[in-house]
Amino acid sequence: MDKRIVVKIGSQVLCDPNGDLNYGVLSNLVSQLGRLQADGWQVLLVSSGAVAAGSGLTNKQLQRLSDPVIRKQVMAATGQVRLMETYRSLFEREGLTIAQVLATKSDFQSRHHYLNMRGCIEALLTAGIVPVVNENDVVSITELMFTDNDELAGLLAGMVNAELLCLLSTVAGVYDGDPDDSGTECIETWDDDKYQIEGVVSRGTSALGRGGMHNKLAVARKVARLGTEVVIADGADPRIIEKILGTQKAGTRFPATGGASSAKRWLASADDHAAGSVTINQGAADALLDSKHMASLLPVGIEAIDGHFDRGDVIQILGPEGQVLGCGQARYDHQEAIELIGKRGQKPLIHYDYLYLGD
């Protein structure tokens, strides 16, 4: 199978502050992706910029709309057309066909929807077509919104089992302090033992997008643990893709530190919209978190059940202090789980193969 790369391009890379598309940057990035595909890579592009592009295109019409949610939907609907037409034209110059894929968080919530979406994207990649993916801002509401397109890109990297995820922004990478301070340097390779997120990054968002470096870091660390290398780098660099795949320094790298099955990668995308939860005792928590052993969640270690879930639903796992340890797919419903609380010799509520643990 060809190597796969997911490239996410942020709004600030694609657009100027007025919302106009930066054709020079876009053309250069598409040329780089075209060369990448010619070298045998299967490319999946996650592109922000629809709302920003729409704001530049429909400013006069937007003055008639007072509802901020409706304004954003209109901006997304008009801007998406503009953005995709630009991509179609630029990729056509490279001899490539693109396909538009719009996603919401609900597409990742059920295993059935997840597999349907994966099947479509796998088919596009196999056919040599470049999927251009964006959040469906026209229908997304708060509870169905991704944190940002970095989160969406991370979920897609896990979905297609990509070798590499590139998060392209307007910064050179992750700095070991305030970038405006003298002596601050870009971190070449991230090390969890050496750096702490709160110690090097302050929370915040850009003017055009709703993401920030804090979110990029969280996504990068999570995706790397699932088996995909991640690079955070400057998308405006005219040779950034070449540098990332070559020997030159480029951005901040997050080496892949593990691997995960298809089921666990799906669970990693479903960990924040569980149907219910189980609270477990300290002994069960220690067993699950012991990296030297593969442990399933047995009823004997469960102290409480919350929510109404069915067999096959995703449920959260809470530690003795209420902290979220991870999630898993329930092998039976909440009623049976309640009846088996604390009992020995029972089948697992969550089998190890369908268990995902976070930090």
pLDDT tens string 274-321: 889 999 999 999 999 987 888 999 999 999 999 999 998 999 999 999
Percentages helix, strand, coil for the chain, rounded to the nearest 5?
Answer: 40, 20, 40
Return d(Cα 210, Cα 131) in angstroms, integer. 23
Beta bridge partners of 302: 280
271-357 CATH choice from 3.40.50.150, 3.40.50.1010, 2.30.130.10, 3.30.750.24: 2.30.130.10
256 touches 325 (CB < 8 A):
no
- Beta strands 302-306 and 164-169, pairing class: unpaired
- So where are the chain's domains? 3-264, 271-357
Q: What is the pLDDT of residue 259?
A: 74
Question: pLDDT exceeding 90 applies to what percent of the chain?
Answer: 53
Confidence band for 210, pLDDT divided at 50, 70 and 90? very low
76 touches 53 (CB < 8 A):
no
Q: Please say if the pLDDT value at position 219 is more than 80.
A: yes
Return d(Cα 315, Cα 132) in angstroms, integer. 31
Give me the sheet containing 229-234, strands edge to edge: 98-103, 130-135, 41-47, 3-9, 164-169, 229-234, 252-254
Q: What is the pLDDT of residue 152?
A: 92
Return d(Cα 53, Cα 120) in angstroms, integer. 27
Q: Please say if the pLDDT value at position 117 is more than 90.
A: yes
Cβ neighbours, 10 Å, residue 84: 18
Q: Please say if the pLDDT value at position 217 is more than 80.
A: yes
Stretch 221-228: mean pLDDT: 92
| Residue of 208 and 338 predicted with greater confidence | 338
Stretch 83-106: mean pLDDT: 93
| Homologous superfamily (CATH) for 3-264 | Acetylglutamate kinase-like (3.40.1160.10)
Stretch 104-131: mean pLDDT: 90
Return d(Cα 242, Cα 246) in angstroms, integer. 6
Stretch 89-117: mean pLDDT: 90
Place of tokens 């089998």: 351
- Beta strands 3-9 and 98-103, pairing class: unpaired
- Beta strands 276-280 and 229-234, pairing class: unpaired
Confidence band for 240, pLDDT divided at 50, 70 and 90? very high
